[in-house]
Copies of this chain bind each other. A is one copy, B any other.
Amino acid sequence: MTPATEFSASLPPWLRDELDALPDRLASAEDRVALVNRLADRNWHAGNGGPFAAAVVERDTGALVSVGVNVVLQEGLSGLHAEVMALSLAQVGLGDWDLAAGGRDLELVVNWRPCAMCYGATIWSGVRSLRIAGAGPECEDLTGFDEGPMPADWRGELVRRGIEVHEGVGRDEAIAVFAEYGASGATVYNASR
């Protein structure tokens, strides 16, 4: 066959419809995590992908730059995790592959710690802060997803690269989403072994 030459990725229809109604600013940590927890829950119910969502905001003001959800099932591409969507759409919106260009100070907000792939994507993106609802084994235990092997000191490696890590706000709500997902029998899209 002739190799494919391009691919594309879109936010799900329900999220596109909702964009204009999202707040312009997510001032508090609680506001930021509540948004990604809500979008994560909506996303798997809609069948687009796993129970994961992300947003990019200005760290100080909370001005919303982009949102993303996992669209692996919708798009048929294993790399389209929530963080990849949010970071890529932030770069589209700002017109630069380096989100720190021009002194911008942006935060990636996610409803759990990034998987092995999204961990690297976060580093390359230029965000200066990573805010996660939690980082423990609850996500893998409750959902059945493999989140992949991480460097032993993954938090320290981020900090050494100029990325602050914040965690804990919205943790119980994130776990509640994973628990409902795990109980539903929805598709776990780790690759076949």
Contact = CB atoms under 8 A, between A and B. Distances in A.
A101 to B, nearest CB: 6
A97 B120 contact: no
A6 B13 CA distance: 11
Interface string A81-105: 0001001111111011111110000
B84 A1 contact: no
Interface size class of A (residues with CB under 8 A): 35 or more
B5 A123 contact: no
Interface in A6-51: 6-11, 16, 19-20, 22
Nearest to A76: B97
B7 A9 contact: yes
B66 A4 contact: yes
A78 interface: yes
B123 A120 contact: no
A121 to B, nearest CB: 5
A6 B3 contact: no
A135 interface: no
B117 A189 contact: no
Nearest to A150: B151
A129 B96 CA distance: 34
Residue of A5, A75, A118, A146 contacting most chain B CB atoms (<10 Å): A5
Interface of A: 1-11, 16, 19-20, 22, 64-67, 72-73, 75-79, 84, 87-93, 95-101, 115-121, 123-126, 146, 148-154, 157, 161-162, 189-193
A-B complex: 10 closest residue pairs judged by Cβ atoms: A117-B120, A116-B120, A126-B191, A8-B8, A100-B192, A149-B151, A149-B157, A6-B10, A4-B92, A4-B89
18 contacts: A3-B19, A3-B66, A4-B66, A5-B10, A5-B11, A6-B89, A7-B92, A77-B91, A78-B126, A79-B84, A79-B87, A98-B192, A123-B146, A123-B191, A125-B191, A150-B151, A151-B152, A152-B152
